[in-house]
Amino acid sequence: MKNSSKASGAAKLLYRRFNTLLIANRGEIACRVIRTARAMGLRTVAGYSEADRDALHVGMADSAVLLGPARARDSYLNIDRILEAAQKTGAEAVHPGYGFLSENADFARRCAEAGIVFVGPTAEMMEAMGSKSGSKLLMEKAGVPLVPGYHGEAQDDATLSKAAEKAGFPVLVKASAGGGGRGMRVVRSAGELAAAVVSAKREALAAFGDDRMLIEKYVDNPRHIEVQIVGDSHGNLVSLFERECTLQRRHQKVIEEAPSPTLDAKQREAVCEAARKAAGAVNYVGAGTIEFVSNGKDFFFIEMNTRLQVEHPVTELIAGVDLVEWQLRVAFGEKLPLEQDQIKLNGHAMEARLYAENPNKNFMPSVGRLRTWRTPEAVDGLRIDAGYGDGGSVSPNYDAMLAKVIAWAPTRDLAISRLARGLNETDIRGVVTNIPFLTALITHPDVRVNAIDTGFIERELAKLTPEQPALTALELGAAVAAILQSESEAAATDAHSPWRSSGWTAVGSRQRKFVFRGGAGEQSVTLLYGRRPSVLLLDGKRIPFASATSPRGGIDLVLDGVNHHVTGLLDGHEVYVRTQNGRFEVHWVDPFGTEDEEQTGGDRVVAPLPGTVVALLVEAGAKVDKGAPILTLEVMKMEQTLRAPFAGVVKSLKCKVGDIVQEGVELAEIEPAKT
């Protein structure tokens, strides 16, 4: 497709050949861009913050330059520092990745003024499509279907309230700038509107520096459909099919797939045509995404993302292209490699976002050093896009995404199975991850048959985050094997190890009892040894037992004559095992060691992670019920509401709005109600 008019001569001057590329980002997208850029013969420069000195992308690049302190606003969001870094390293171009400055028109304009190629659209295109409200006005003129709502400039309470009443509840209040679910609230009644607007404005201002809001009618049983488009500076524009991103939690995508299993061929062509029309309205150059909400039949324009998307790999796999390579070729001033009728759909792809977060604690982000990083080989349709590895550090300063696990197959059903296998074979220790949640989600029967909408995860959350069940003989055997393996490794390297001369056995003992404490309480198993095979004694049953380190990694465990390949890792007194039954974490009550686990109850209002106090929701002296909201923290760019652990009276608030607090600090004291 040709854009409605040629790109201007001034815009063409911004696209030219270059040899050195600075990546103004971090994590998996920085690694992703570096791989393609180097394959194209480009020299790569990594920008990094003080928190990312040892990050994976820093080591991958040909050279690296410090941008500033850990806080994003002092490093990855500091335009002056990035332009200075480009000048210092001889970088002729900057790739912004996604997030941070990727949709910042001022950054694109400053790059152009400095004679640096910005790998993306012009500032003018960004400004036209980057504003949710402004882009809707453009779409009206272009004939692209819109959701009923308000996207005007007036932001007073009366205007927003009147707009919500006119659209009809429920409505969606969301930030005009930005994305990722930040600054977005579903409002189901007029009484909820004012508080939702205040909260959304505050979050939007912190995330994007812009608190303007728009109002949209909330579509019942909504599905999220988006179309990948790419345009060049010669007036060519193509779409590369659509993605479905319906599996979301709090407006943040969790699983993405391409093509959409909801649309038939006719609907697919209609939504792709609408996307090309939308991008053509601004003669778009670069990679971008046109997002729609659908009720399964009709679709309505939501917004345009003027950048590469997190979920771009699923499009690459079904279209057989490298979108980062296309971005760079467009930035060189080249024509698109393919025309619309040359782009063919092949198979089905799915992606899962792997985060450092705890689904069983309201998806609270997790930070720390990665002590174990094991992912499956990228074969048989699997692809792993990661920004971390062994020894990496997850900082509270940035988004908590660690990697993306992606699978391609000829059919959707097989793609689901391959993705589940990829998740099952991924082991990350040192932080809590959402892998069990992702596995439960992707294998849910309703997901298999595509009986979902954007509210599916919230409705099914209890089933997707179950309490850990009791350990079976297989998990207990794996836990025992992990301890024995750890002790054997220690004996091999420590001349003074008590296990060195006598294997793992205690001197003079013919049996050894193991006690484990986990979600199902305390469980114990006894290992009887001295003859071959050894025996596990469990509930009066004797189970033949043998274990050895597997040549393919993990542990080969033989129980009752059946060989199982399992994973078992010991970290202090904490044991992690993965078997065919799932993942299990227990505390080993070591009779030969000391119990040094921290005894912290759930009876205090404490900061779960370093963060900033953004709202106090009660006053000292207030009576509160159990679960009542006490205060709001901003943690890793997301707001977290801390609640009362029991009914009582707020004795004191130990913080104020604006305070930066560290993990574990008590923020409020609540006196239990007298019974």
Radius of gyration of the chain (CA): 27
pLDDT, tens digit (0-9, with 9 covering 90-100), for 403-418: 999 999 999 999 999 9
Lowest mean pLDDT among 370-384, 436-450, 451-465, 510-524: 510-524
Q: Which two tokens stand for residue 664?
A: 């574990």
Q: How confident is the model at residue 600 (pLDDT cuts 50, 70, 90)?
A: very low
Residue type, 615: A
- Residue 489, pLDDT score: 85
Query: Which pairing describes strands 511-518 and 638-643: parallel, antiparallel, or unpaired?
Result: unpaired
pLDDT at 336 over 50: yes
- Residue 611, pLDDT score: 82
Contact 89, 65 (CB under 8 A): yes
Domains belonging to the chain, first-starting first, are 148-217 (3.30.1490.20), 473-589 (3.30.700.30), 605-672 (2.40.50.100)
Q: Which two tokens stand for residue 599?
A: 């005894």
- Residue 439, pLDDT score: 97
Query: Cβ neighbours of residue 569 under 8 Å, at least 6 residues apart?
Result: 372, 427, 429, 482, 575, 576, 577
Residues 205-236, buried b or exposed e (16+ Cβ, 10 A)? ebbbebbbbbbbbbbeebbbbbbbbbbbbbbb
Q: How far apart are CA 203 and CA 192, in angstroms?
A: 17
pLDDT at 229 over 90: yes
pLDDT, tens digit (0-9, with 9 covering 90-100), for 76-125: 999 999 999 999 999 999 999 999 999 999 999 999 999 999 999 999 99
Lowest mean pLDDT among 21-30, 264-273, 296-305, 525-534: 525-534
pLDDT, tens digit (0-9, with 9 covering 90-100), for 276-332: 999 999 999 999 999 999 988 889 998 899 999 999 999 999 999 999 999 999 999
Lowest mean pLDDT among 455-464, 482-491, 535-544: 482-491
Residue type, 533: P
pLDDT at 561 over 90: yes
* 572-586 average pLDDT score: 92
Q: How far apart are CA 498 and CA 5, in angstroms?
A: 79
**Active-site residue (options: 307, 353, 429, 578):** 307
E strand residue ranges, 318-356: 348-355
* 632-640 average pLDDT score: 77
Q: Among this protein's residues, is 307 annotated catalytic?
A: yes
Residue 215 pairs in a beta bridge with 150, 173
Q: How far apart are CA 174 and CA 132, in angstroms?
A: 9
Higher-confidence residue of 615 and 603: namely 615
pLDDT at 636 over 80: no
- What's the mean per-residue pLDDT of the chain? 90
- Residue 553, pLDDT score: 87
Q: How far apart are CA 559 and CA 543, in angstroms?
A: 6
Contact 605, 668 (CB under 8 A): yes
Phi, psi of 172 (to 5 degrees): -110, 120
pLDDT, tens digit (0-9, with 9 covering 90-100), for 485-523: 998 887 776 555 544 443 344 444 478 999 999 877 899
Alpha helices, DSSP H, located in 4-153: 9-12, 27-39, 56-60, 79-89, 105-113, 123-130, 132-142
pLDDT at 151 over 90: no
Q: Which two tokens stand for residue 209?
A: 């520096």
Q: How far apart are CA 315 and CA 305, in angstroms?
A: 15
- Residue 590, pLDDT score: 72
pLDDT at 152 over 90: no
pLDDT at 458 over 90: yes
Query: Which pairing describes strands 93-95 and 20-23: parallel, antiparallel, or unpaired?
Result: parallel
Q: Which two tokens stand for residue 178?
A: 């930005």
Q: Which two tokens stand for residue 127?
A: 């400004």
Q: How confident is the model at residue 599 (pLDDT cuts 50, 70, 90)?
A: very low
Q: What is the DSSP string of 601-621?
A: -S-SEE-SSSEEEEEE-S-TT
